[in-house]
Structure 1
Amino acid sequence: MEGDVDGTGSDAADTVTYDNMSDEDAVDDAMNEGNSSDEDRNVQHHTFDRALPVKHTYLGMNLEELRGRTFLDDDSYQTIPLLPEPGVVLVPGQTLPLTVFYPPTISMLRRTITTDHTFGVVCVRYATSHPPILADIGTTAEIYAFQDEEETAGFKIKAIGRQRFKIVETQRQIDGNVSAKVRILPEIILGDPLAGASFSSCDKYSKSAKKLKNLENREAVVTRWPSWVYSQFQTQKLMKKLIHLLRHMKIGNPNASFPTDPVELSFWVAQSVPLRDEQKLDLLRIDCAVQRLRWELSVLERCRILCCQKCSSKIAYQRDIFSMSVEGPQGTYVNSGGYLHETVTVYKAKGLRCVSDEPSTEYSWFPGYAWTITECRHCQTHMGWLFTSTQPELRPAKFWGLCRRSLAPKLETGENAEFKPVM
C-alpha cells in the first residue's frame, strides 16, 4: 500500500488529486451505506477470511520460515541491536512486518537471523525540538520468516514481539546502526490478595458465584480492608470485567475467544485499542498484568471517541471498531515504501475525505479490497484509507482503516483528560 511517508499527509498532496468539496458528501454517503446497519455489525454476515491479514501475503508467498524460539532471562542485561521506529510501540505478542531498503539495517537483520533471531524495537518520539529521541522502554522482536531479495525489492521479514526491556545505554555503530545494553523486564505475578485469610475447608464453595462472594466478604472481615478493595486486585474478576466490556463495545471478533492468560490478555488489549504512544509506553513500564488490566479498564470505561490527533475533530466512535483480523481490530502493516502503519478498522467514520483518484489493489493489506487514501477534512492530516470490496460476495462491502498515530482517544464529554496508569 502507498500513503504518506511520515504520517502527516504532506507527501500525499504531491502524488494524489484532492476531491473537491462537492465530493465530500458522496464520500460520507458511501461511508454510511452498508456499514452502519445491524446486519453488517453481525459477525455471521462477514464473509472475509480474518486469517488473511495475519499472513501478510502482500510481502510475498515465498518467505523462508525460521525454527526455534529465543527467551532471554528475566532481569538479565543483554546487548542487542535496536531498530528505532517512528510512531510504533511494539508490545509482546504483536506481529511486526518489515520491508527494509537501507543497507546497514539489512546487514543488521541478516546477522540477527544467523544468531538468535532477536532484535529490539524502540519507538522514536518527536519532541517539540529536534533531534528525535528514543523511548527508554521497548520490546524484543523475534524474526520467524524472511525473504532476502535484491535491494530494489527490499529485505522482508515477519517478526513477533516477545519481551519488554529498559534501555540502560545506547551506542551508535560505525555503519549507523544502534545497539543498546538493556535490562529484560520481569513479569510480576500477583496471587489472590485474600489467600492469607482463606480457609481451605471452604474451597468446595468456590464454584458458586453467590457463595464465593459471601465467603470473600467473611474472609475480608479478619483483615483491615473491606472485600471490594481486594476485588480490584483479583485477576479473574478483572479479566471477566474487561472481557465483558470488550464484548459490549464489540471490540474483537465476537465468535473468537479472548486470551485466558492475564498477561496475554493485557497485551492483547494494548495492541488492539488505539492508544497514544505515551499511553502504550506507560503500559510497557507496568511490570504486573493486574495493574495493566486495571489501567486498561480505566481507559476503556472513560474513552468513547476517537479524534484527529492534530485538530481534535471527531473521526469515529469506539463502538464502531471491529476486527478484520483474527489478531484483533488493530494490526501493524507495512506499505511498499517500507513505512509501518498501526491501523485500526472501523465500520464508520466522519470528517474524512478521499484524496486519491481511483481505488487501488496494489499491496493491499486485506486481499479482495481496494484502498483509497483519506485525510482529515479540517486539517488535511493523513488519517488512513477507505477499503472497498472488489468482489460482490465480500462483507463488509466497505470499511475504514485509520492510522493509530493520527488518532487521539478522548472522553465523550469532550474533556481533554489525559489517562494515567492506575497505580
Structure 2
Amino acid sequence: MEDDFIPESERLQIEQIRELESEELEIEEVDNEDLSDDDIRRGAAGASASNTYDTSLVALHSYLGEVDDTHNRMAFLDGGAVLTLPLFYLEGIVLFPEATLPLRVIFPNFITGVERAMRQADAPYTIGVVRVYRDSNSDRIRFSTTGTTAEIRQHRRLEDGSVNVVARGQQRFRLKRRLIDAEGAPCGEVQIIREDLPLRTPQEVVGKLRPLRNLQTNSICSAPSLNDSQLNHRSYEEGNDSDAMSEGSFESELSSAEKCLHRAALASCRPNVNDESMSSDEENFVQHSEFHPEMSQLDVYLRSMHSKHKTQSVHANPDVGKRTFSGLHRYKAKWEKRSIAHLRNVPAAFWPSWVYNMFDSYSLARKAADRWEQVVKAPSMEGLVMKPDLLSFYIASKIPISESKRQELLEIDGTSYRLRREIELLESFDKIQCKSCQTLIGRRSDMLIMSSDGPLGAYANPHGFVHEVMTLFKTNGVGVAGPPVKEFSWFPGYAWSVAECTTCGTHMGWHFSATRKKMRPRSFWGIRSSQILDDTN
C-alpha cells in the first residue's frame, strides 16, 4: 500500500505500532493486587492523560500486516431479498451490523470464497457470516440460522497464498440452505431480514393523560381495569395531573341522573363501542354525535335530551322538564370543570406513560445507554441515543457476555425488543465463570477497556481462527502457561502468554504483559467469550 494513500492520523498510528514492536521485551511480573485504584480506573476509561496506552491502536488490527482498501461501499440490500453468498461459518463468533471482523484466511475453500465475493455482481465484496457451535447433548456441530452479511473493506493476498481480510457487518439474514459451488467454496442461500423502523410513542398520545378504568356498573367504555398502585406506578416522567381525579371521586359528586349522563358522555369517546348495557337514549346520542362533527359531543347529547324532555313536557308537568333540563346544565358545568379534553383523549391513552415507554425505542435507547455507561464505564453514548437501531447493534456486538446470549440478541426482531433484552442483560450481568467447571474467574467490575471498540472484540490468530475476547484487569483461578511472545500480538506493545483455568485446565484465553516499564496497565487478561458460562437469565 502506497504511503501517499495513508491518512496522516493512520500514518502516525502505524509509526507508533512499529516503535512499540521494535522495543526490547522487558516483562515485569506484576501481581494483580499491586494495581492501584487509579491504575484500574485509568485502564477502564482508557482516556486518562497519564495512561500511556493508546486504545485506538488495537482497532487497526495491525498484526495482520499491510492490507489494501477495496474502496467499495455497497448499497444496502432490500429487506426480503434472496441471494447466494460465500459463507463463512465461525465458531465462537457472533457478528452484528456495524461490527468489525478481521480474518486470516488460510484454508483453500475459504480463499476461493473470498475470491468469489470480490468478483460477484449482485453483492460485490460481500460474504455471509454465521456462528457454528457444538451441541452440548449430541456433541454435533450446529449452524445458526441467523447471520450477518459482511462487506470486505480491506484485503491483502500474501505470498503463501493466504489472504488477510478486514470486513464490516452490514445486514442480518436468515440462512435458508447451505451449498458448495462448482469451485468448492462454501455458500449459503440467504434472505435479508427486513428491519423495523424504531418506534416512538407520539407525545400527544401520552401527555399527562391517565388510564381509563372500567366503571363499576353498566360500563360503556370497556377499557382494561387497573388498580391504584398500577395507575400511580412510575409516574415520575409525566408527573401528577391535578385534573386526573379518579372516576369514583368524580361520580360521587353526581346525582343518579347525572351519573347516567356521565356514563353516556364517556361513551361518546368511543362511538363504535357495542355494549348491551347501552340505553336507547345513549344509542341515540352516539348516532347523533356522528352527524355533528363540529359540535361539542356533550352539547349534542344535551340538545337531544332537551328535545326529548320538551316533547314529554306537553303531556306532563312542565316543571319536571325544567328541573330535568336544569340538572343537565349543572352536569355540564361539572363536566367542563372535570376537563372535557381529558375525556375526549382518554381512549388514546389507556395506560400510563411508562407502559408506552416499554416499547418506545428512543426511551429504551436512553435507558440502555445509561446502563452501558454504568457497566462499561465508557464515554458518553449521546451520539447513538437518537439512533436506537444502531445503538442496539453496538451494545450487542460489545456486551461482554457469552456467545450464546449474543446469538440470542442477533436473532431478536424489533429494535425495542432487542433493547429491552440488552437492558435486562446489563442489569443482571455480574459474574464471569468458566464454562467447563463454573469456577468464578472475575466480575464485571474487573473489566478493562483496552480497545476503542469496547471491552469485547474479535481477533484473528495466525492459524486462521477468530476469537472474541473480553479484557479484564484481574482474574481469579486463571494461570499463565508458557513464556510471553511478542509476535502477532493483538495489542501492540504487549506480549501474550496462554492462560488456562487452574481448576479444569481449559484454555481460557491469554495474559498480556507490557513490553515497556512505563506502560499502563502493566498487564491484563483476555478471556474468550466462548469459554464463559451463561449466568444470566
TM-score (norm 2): 0.65
Map of 1:394-405 to 2, 5 A cutoff? 394-405=519-530
Answering whether residue 92 of structure 2 is matched by residue 67 of structure 1, we say no
The structure-2 alpha-carbon separation of the partners of 1:212 and 1:130, relative to structure 1 and needing over 3 Å to count, comes to closer
SS of 2:373 mapped into structure 1 = helix
Q: Which residue of 60, 78, 84 maps to 1:79?
A: 84
The structure-2 alpha-carbon separation of the partners of 1:64 and 1:228, relative to structure 1 and needing over 3 Å to count, comes to closer
Q: 2:392 aligns to what?
A: 266
Answering whether residue 31 of structure 2 is matched by residue 30 of structure 1, we say yes
Q: 2:531 aligns to what?
A: 406
Paired letter, 2:478: L
Native 8 Å contact 2:434 2:532 kept in 1: yes
SS of 2:510 mapped into structure 1 = strand
Give deviations 1:290-325, integer Å, cap 9, x for gaps. 111100111111121110011111011012213211
The structure-2 alpha-carbon separation of the partners of 1:308 and 1:364, relative to structure 1 and needing over 3 Å to count, comes to same
SS of 1:394 mapped into structure 2 = coil
SS of 1:242 mapped into structure 2 = helix
Greater relative CO, 1 or 2 (CA 8 Å, sep 6+): 1
Shift of 1:198: 5.2
Map of 1:8-407 to 2, 5 A cutoff? 30-34=31-35, 37-42=37-42, 43=45, 44=48, 45-115=50-120, 116-127=124-135, 128-151=137-160, 154-195=162-203, 197=205, 213-214=238-239, 222=347, 223-249=349-375, 251=376, 253-254=378-379, 259-260=384-385, 261-356=387-482, 358-407=483-532
CA distance in 1, matches of 2:517, 2:484: 16
SS of 2:178 mapped into structure 1 = strand
Shift of 1:337: 1.0
Shift of 1:31: 2.6
Shift of 1:231: 1.9
SS of 1:408 mapped into structure 2 = coil
SS of 2:396 mapped into structure 1 = helix
Shift of 1:392: 2.4
The structure-2 alpha-carbon separation of the partners of 1:55 and 1:215, relative to structure 1 and needing over 3 Å to count, comes to farther
Native 8 Å contact 1:252 1:329 kept in 2: no
Q: 1:205 aligns to what?
A: none
Q: Percent identity?
A: 32
Give deviations 1:378-406, integer Å, cap 9, x for gaps. 01111111111112232111111111101
**Structure number with higher helix proportion:** 2
Native 8 Å contact 2:405 2:534 kept in 1: no
Give deviations 1:168-204, integer Å, cap 9, x for gaps. 12223355432222110111124323456257xxxxx
CA distance in 1, matches of 2:378, 2:449: 6
TM-score (norm 1): 0.81
Q: Gapped runs of 5+ residues in structure 2?
A: 1-27, 208-234, 245-341
The structure-2 alpha-carbon separation of the partners of 1:193 and 1:46, relative to structure 1 and needing over 3 Å to count, comes to same
Query: How large is the Cα RMSD of the aligned pairs?
Result: 2.6
The structure-2 alpha-carbon separation of the partners of 1:46 and 1:67, relative to structure 1 and needing over 3 Å to count, comes to same
Native 8 Å contact 2:85 2:117 kept in 1: no
The structure-2 alpha-carbon separation of the partners of 1:341 and 1:258, relative to structure 1 and needing over 3 Å to count, comes to farther
Q: Gapped runs of 5+ residues in structure 1?
A: 1-25, 200-209, 411-417
Paired letter, 1:136: T
CA distance in 1, matches of 2:442, 2:528: 12
Determine which structure has more spread, i.e. the larger CA radius of gyration: 2
Q: Greater shift after overlay, 96-105 or 233-242?
A: 233-242
CA distance in 2, matches of 1:176, 1:81: 10
CA distance in 2, matches of 1:276, 1:39: 27
SS of 1:359 mapped into structure 2 = strand
The structure-2 alpha-carbon separation of the partners of 1:252 and 1:60, relative to structure 1 and needing over 3 Å to count, comes to farther
